Amino acid sequence: MKKALLASLAAALLSFGAPAGEKPVVGLVMKSLANEFFKTMEEGARKFAAEDGTFTLIPVGMNSETDIDTQINAMENFVTRKVDMIVLAPADSVGLVPSVKKAADAGILVVNFDVTLDKKALVANSLPEDFLFVGPDNEEGSELVGDFMAEKLGKGAKVIIIEGNPGADNAKQRKAGFMRTVEKYGLNLLASNTAHWETEEANTLMTNLLTRFPDVRGVMCANDSMAVGAVKAIEAAGGIGRIDVVGFDNIGACQELIKEGKMLATVDQFGPEMAANAIKVGFRILGGEKLSGWIKTPVKVVSAKDLK
């Protein structure tokens, strides 16, 4: 089934008709479209492309957060298609670097956004360590929302971290931000485990952790999809109102949970504009600007007072 999916993706990309006139073609490689965050990102990119009208957009997503083969295949096909630009949110910060190298060697501009590519892997593949990245400060965002929780819970409160995919730099950065909060407020960290960004995996993990640690007071989730799963487990265990949950992404499902008092807060990294911003930066480079390093985009804590 997976081979059939990849073959279908390849055929779709390669059969994509010639763009009207001489419009440049932009390939957008996202993570799982089962995640509401990336669905809204795709919608924002499509809206921007339609309103701008100067380029053709080909968006591609994955079936799950760990399906990096689909991303690699998409990169390969965009290179074969000879697109003008690839805008990439890598599911694996190391695993996608060889594909970026192939695209660069083919003369295709690659703009890295959302999740940073691994610096050591970039250098090992003869790419610059300061390879352009357009995106938020994940460590800052998770620390901000972690601090928001800690201010409510108080010193010594028992907490759990639910981590993202260990192969993604943004997962490492968000955990690092949460750890700053843990140390700063003297929280008692009971466990820190991954649920690979997935809702159902987080639900199962949280269910098991509640059995082990029934006195937990706070749960820091590295994305909102996992926060949804954690809240579901907490609600099933009768823990709503006793256990606070924070997340990261500001998806609609979590906004509703915050309004209902089932979740404390999340981080808005302005997903609908994220891919569009990366594409805009890419066209600046194609227009002759020399850009490298980190172009930082904003983060903001969102709680009930922001959703009235």
The whole model's pTM is what?
0.88
Computed over every residue of the chain, the mean pLDDT equals 93
d(C-alpha 151, C-alpha 143), whole Å: 12
Residues 58-62 have a mean pLDDT of 96
d(C-alpha 59, C-alpha 43), whole Å: 10
Q: Is the pLDDT of residue 9 over 70?
A: no
Longest dimension (CA), the chain: 64
d(C-alpha 81, C-alpha 41), whole Å: 23
Residues 87-116 have a mean pLDDT of 97
Q: Which of 245, 288, 284 is nearest to 267 (CA)?
A: 245
> 211 or 34, which is more confident?
211
Contact 56, 19 (CB under 8 A): yes
Query: What CATH number does the domain located at 2-135+270-297 have?
Result: 3.40.50.2300
Q: Where in the chain is the domain with CATH 3.40.50.2300?
A: 2-135+270-297, 138-268
Residues 153-163 have a mean pLDDT of 98
Mean pLDDT check: name the lowest of 31-35, 149-153, 189-193, 303-307: 31-35
At the topology level, CATH places domain 138-268 in Rossmann fold (3.40.50)
pLDDT tens digits along 173-207: 999 999 999 999 999 999 999 999 999 999 999 99
> In the 8-state DSSP scheme, what is residue 304?
G
